[in-house]
Every structure is written in structure tokens, then in C-alpha cells.
Structure 1
Amino acid sequence: MVNRMFRTALLSMAACGIALAAHAQTPAPATPAPATPAPATAAVADPVVARVNGEELHQSDVTRMVSQLPPQVQQMPIEMIYPAVLDQLVSGKLVAAAGYKDKLADSPEVKDEIKRAEERAVQRAYIQKEVKARITAKSLDDAYQAFLKQNPPQEEVKAAHILVEKEDEAKAILAELKKGGDFAKIAKEKSKDTVAAQAGGDLGYFTKDAMVEPFANAAFAMKKGEVSKEPVKTQFGYHIIKVEDKRTQPAPTLDEVKPQLEQTLSKDIVTALVDELRAGAKVETFQMDGSPMPKEEPKAAEPAPAAAAPAPAAEPKKN
């Protein structure tokens, strides 16, 4: 059963006139025409999911409505929410048809809403066009080089550890290791860190800021292949650390950071685009009641700093 949040979201969408807006530019005919069978390829690509007085609803209509729902609802299995979505689409069609029958499509309120919706769509289309045109291979590469300078590669350590509760336990394990005990085997048997223990205590590669300070300081001070000489205490217990490798963190490739760079570039482009449009336009703004904006008083010029007094002449040396 679809939960209350989903039903509330659907009702809210209906109340806001989403169904009406979706079909506002395609008035329903006074007498519904018989449905025309779609070509086989179109039917497969976008199958009919319902007919309301002969007017078809397609799978794409369901997808569109789901995309407008809250993220929590969108994450639900489509099989769970499909019946309620389809029911709402059918209801929306019926309400819209009734509105067209009453000639509400010609009302000033609906025409104004359609005009505003069209304006928003044109805004989005224009911004998308400009962003696409201005994000070039060169601008992406420049942003990538700047990213690499701002995020220099860090040193990384690959280490394994054995975590126990008491210092005496840790010292006993150190003694066992000195006698030739197998680090990975002991980690699997005795470490409290059950996740790392399954891999013989392996923690993989990590940067210094990824670990708690006492652990990180000890690990980064050790040499490759070295085991900590004393247990390292943290809030989790006592650690015996084995450093397996050290390296400089590999720089991310352009493809790895491309989405992040495109997002940053898009924001900069939109800001620049609006600035350009404002620079070439005559913009007049007024207060909420339509009266003129108060003029800003020019700032008083700051007094120029006083000239420094001349240094006194050096006195002649007395013989």
C-alpha cells in the first residue's frame, strides 16, 4: 500500500494544477476522436498505459509525474507507486477535460499561468543552450588544471592493524609477532575491528586526515614494512600497526572530476550571463508600493592622508 507521504505528494501536485498545466496547450476536442493505433515501434518505445475517453496516456506520462515527486517517493519501487500514479494521471485528465469543456483555457488566469510557465521553460532552455556552448574542451581543461593546483596530491599510507581493548593484550600480541607470528592470521583471530580483520587487518590506502590523530601520526612516522614498536592508544582501544606501503596519492583524471567541474563552470557561466544581460539592458526598479527607490547618498570623499613631515637634516659631526 502506498504510504501517506506519497498520496499527499500526488494530491499536492493535483492541487497546484500540474495535471492542468501539462495539458493546457493541447485542448481536448468537444467530441473525442477515436484513438489512432500508434506504430509498432512507437508502442514499444512509449506504450499506452491508459485511455480516458479515447485520449491516450503513455508510459512517458508516468515517468514525468514520478520525476516531479519528492526524492523519498522516487526511490520506491515503481511497482509500488505505479497504481497511484496512474490513478492520479487519469483523474488529472478528467479534471482537465472538464475545465476545457467550461472554456477555462481561455480564462485570463489560465492564460497568465501558461505564459509564466512558458517563460520559465524558455529561461531554462536559454541557460542550457548557453552553458552547453560555453563549456568547451579548453574551459574544462583550464578548470581541471586549476583544480589540480588547488588540490595537490597527498601522501598516502597502506597499513593493517590489530585492535584490542587492553594494553596487556596488545603487548602480548607484539611479543608473538616478534617471535615470527603471522600478522594477518592474528588480526583475523583477535582484532576487534571485525571488518578489517576479515582482510587480515588491511585498511587499504588512506591520507593522514582520514584517521584519528594518534593512529595517523604513528602510521605516517613509520617506514614501509615496519610494525609499531609499542601499542598505539586511541579512543577505540590499542592498535598494533603494520605499514605495508607508502605512496603519493594519484591525481584524479579529468573524467573523474568532470561532473564536479561542469557544475562549477555552469554556476560561473550563469552568473556571467546574467551580468552580461544586465549590462546591455535598461533596468528600473521600484519599491513594493511602486514608489521610487530612495537614492543612495554619495559617500563623502575620505580626506587625503597628511603629508609626512620632512626628516630633520643630519647635524654635522663635531670635531
Structure 2
Amino acid sequence: MVNRVFRTALLSMAACGIALAAHAQTAAPTPAAADPVVARVNGEELHRSDVTRMVAQLPAQVQQMPIEMIYTAVIDQLVSGKLVAVAGYKAKLAETAEVKDEVKRAEERAVQRAFVQKEVKARITQKALDEAYQAYLKQNPPQDEVKASHILVEKEEDAKAIIAELVKGGDFAKLAKEKSKDTVAAQQGGDLGYFTKDAMVEPFANAAFAMAKGEISKEPVKTQFGFHIIKVEDKRTQPAPTLDEVKPQLEQTLSKDIVTALVDELRAGAKIETFQLDGSPMPKEEPAAAPKADEPKKQ
């Protein structure tokens, strides 16, 4: 089964040879000491980094398998690939226009990625991160949170009976463990932890956020799940995330903006001519006609 999935994946990889060549071009060199030889084919060495590159190109379902399960199949395919490549070189296929064009395009994509990575790294400065962080905090102000516990039952009369017990001094956590049909929360004495208003169904959220700290609902709160008795344990304003916590998200957003700006800069300094698929000039866009004096302008 493993070999069948693996070989199918390798056939797909063969069909995407350009992408694989581009990936190999951009892979960082690995020190020899950390990249042992895993096979030799007529004296030519294959290294652990070759295994890593091949595995990285396989479907997720194969990548998730323990390396021990697929290692033999990987080595087998690497050896086969090396033999085929050597045969192709002997046939002087590397000198053909088709292969040279393919290699050139793969190299170009690798250079594109390297250039973009270089520019992104240079432009994501600490100042840029700090400014992005402040903008993030303005766009995502801390929300109010409630920490509450609840007891959930099916019938309203059961909920009212529990409220009556609580009024007489009953222990909320004990009653939650005994009577709540929310078995997960019941194990914690009904504790739901902190939550924002939009995290709960509307009737429950409205009731909880309207209550004071330490208050227990005087009437059952009905939702699609049944009838709730709510106890508000605490209220707070959600703590703002630190820069380190949102740094990956900020870097991703900055990277997209930087790439867009970079392409705009390059376009601004370039002479660009485009043609139709047959090589003929692109049709000129006709300027929009101005509305006549007696015609209303389109909204």
C-alpha cells in the first residue's frame, strides 16, 4: 500500500519536474557533516538532503507517515531517478533546446523567489513590525470577557427547582456535577472559563454579560440546548496580545504588502509591451464618452 501511494506520488512529481528543479535550486546548502551519504550509484553519492527534498514534495498523507515506513521506497526511487538522469546525460539530452529552456525557466523562478525573500527580509524591520503591531491593536481593540459557570437541564421546571436550591445556599459546583447535562463543563463544576460575547449563543451571552460578578441568574435562560442556570464568576477586559504572539501574523501581512509594493516599483521603472495571443497589437481601449448635457450622469 505504501509503495503504491508512493509510486503514484512520484509519477506526479515527474510530471512536475520544473517545480522540483526550482525547489532544489532554492534549497539552502547543507554542511557535509550534517548531510551523510545515504546511497551511491556507480560512485555518485545521494545524501540525506536528497531524501528530505523528495519527501517534502510528496502528498501530505505520505509525509505524515514515519520516515522508517517510507525510507526504503524513497531510496529506491532516488536510485532509479539517478540512473535515469545519468542515462539522459549520456544521451546528451541536457544539450537539447527543450531541456535548456526548462532549466532556464526553473532557474528564473528560483531567482524570483530568492530576490523576493531578500527584499522581504530587508524591509521587515523592527520599526515596520512595531508600526504594524500598533495598527493591529487599533483595529483589534481588547474585548470584554465574562468568566461563568452554568448548569444545563432539559426542563424549565427542573431549572427553577435548582435555582430555588441555590437561593437556599446550595453549592453551585456540586449541583452542576450532579444535574448538568453539559457533561464536559459539569466535570469542572460547570466552569466555562472566560469568553467573549460572540463566543456564545445570543440568549446565553446576553444574560451572562448583563449580570454582575458573583450573581446567579434568577430565571432560567432558554437556548436551543435547553435551560441554563448561569453564575458569573468574573469580568475583565481581554488582555491585548503581545508583539511576539502576533508577530507571525504581522510578518505574513507585511510580506504580502512588501511583495505588492516591490512589483509596483519594478513596473514603474520598466517599459512593458503586451500583445495578443497571436502576437498582434492589443486593441486600444476607447475612452468613455462624456454624457450629453441633457443626459443624467450614471451613478
Fold match by TM threshold 0.5 = yes
- Residues 250 and 19 of structure 1: CA distance in aligned 2, closer, same or farther (over 3 Å): closer
Aligned twin of 1:229: 218
CA RMSD between the two structures: 2.4
Distance across 1 between alignment mates of 2:164 and 2:23: 78
Distance across 2 between alignment mates of 1:235 and 1:202: 20
Deviates more, 1:285-294 or 1:47-56: 47-56
Aligned twin of 1:309: none
Q: Aligned partner of 1:16: which letter?
A: C
How many residues in Structure 1 have an aligned counterpart in Structure 2?
A: 291
Aligned twin of 1:7: 7
Aligned twin of 2:203: 214
Aligned twin of 1:201: 190
Q: Is the 8 A contact 2:22 2:110 kept in 1?
A: no
Distance across 2 between alignment mates of 1:22 and 1:53: 26
What is the 5 A alignment of 1:273-284?
A: 273-284=262-273
Distance across 2 between alignment mates of 1:16 and 1:150: 42
- Residues 305 and 135 of structure 1: CA distance in aligned 2, closer, same or farther (over 3 Å): farther
Distance across 1 between alignment mates of 2:214 and 2:23: 69
Q: Is the 8 A contact 1:156 1:205 kept in 2?
A: yes
Residue 98 of structure 1 is aligned with which of 83, 87, 95?
Answer: 87
* Alignment of 1:61 onto 2:69: no
The runs of 5 or more residues in structure 1 that have no matched partner are: 26-41, 307-319
Give SS of 2:2's match.
coil
Q: Is the 8 A contact 1:19 1:89 kept in 2?
A: no
The runs of 5 or more residues in structure 2 that have no matched partner are: 26-30
Distance across 1 between alignment mates of 2:17 and 2:35: 24
* Alignment of 1:271 onto 2:256: no
TM-score norm. by structure 1 comes to 0.85
Q: Is the 8 A contact 1:24 1:114 kept in 2?
A: no
Tell me by how many angstroms 1:160 deviates. 0.8
Q: Aligned partner of 1:174: which letter?
A: I
Instruction: Name the structure where helix makes up a greater proportion of residues.
Output: 2
Deviates more, 1:1-10 or 1:107-116: 1-10
- Residues 90 and 3 of structure 1: CA distance in aligned 2, closer, same or farther (over 3 Å): closer
Give SS of 1:138's match.
helix
Aligned twin of 1:300: 289
Q: Is the 8 A contact 2:22 2:106 kept in 1?
A: no
- Residues 220 and 154 of structure 1: CA distance in aligned 2, closer, same or farther (over 3 Å): same
Tell me by how many angstroms 1:45 deviates. 1.7
Tell me by how many angstroms 1:167 deviates. 1.5
> Could you list the per-position Cα deviations for residues 239-295 of structure 1 after superposition, in whole angstroms to 9, with x for gaps in the alignment?
111100000111111111111111111111111111110110100000001000001
Deviates more, 1:178-187 or 1:67-76: 67-76
Aligned twin of 2:16: 16
* Alignment of 1:248 onto 2:237: yes
Tell me by how many angstroms 1:196 deviates. 1.2
Residue 139 of structure 2 is aligned with which of 145, 150, 154?
Answer: 150
Q: Is the 8 A contact 1:157 1:206 kept in 2?
A: yes
Q: Aligned partner of 1:226: which letter?
A: E
Q: Is the 8 A contact 2:216 2:232 kept in 1?
A: yes
